[in-house]
Amino acid sequence: MSTLRTDGTIQSSLVNAGVMSDPFISQQVPAFVAYGKVKLANLRERSQIAVTYRAGWRWVALGNHRRTCPADRAGRTGPDGRRRKAQLVAPTRVYGN
């Protein structure tokens, strides 16, 4: 998952991802869990992201926007004590092999 920093550079992270129901559109959508003060601030300020999923030799990249899952707006604390938030993905561009 890659986000845009305030200085225009890219910040990339490996995240846990999957599929979950989007309560806004009642469809299954790609989603991931994000944590970290700076990463969450980047996501809050700029919704543009890129996410790449891989399974074996197959991959798909999504150019898109994201929004915080409404049920997870406050975030949750993981076993390591860091706050995490579920992010829903709204793809606007999809490509892969």
* Predicted confidence (pLDDT) per residue in 20-50, tens digit: 888 778 888 888 887 777 887 888 888 788 8
Number of compact structural domains in the chain: 1
| pTM more than 0.75 | no
- CA torsion sign, 10 to 23 to 94 to 55? positive
pLDDT in tens, 47-62: 788 888 888 999 988 8
66 pLDDT above the threshold of 80: no
Average pLDDT, whole number, for the chain? 79
Top-confidence residue, 75 or 44: 44
What is the CATH classification number for the domain harbouring 24? 2.30.110.10
Alpha helices in 1-97 (DSSP H): 37-45
Q: Which domain holds residue 46?
A: 2-96
d(CA 59, CA 78): 28
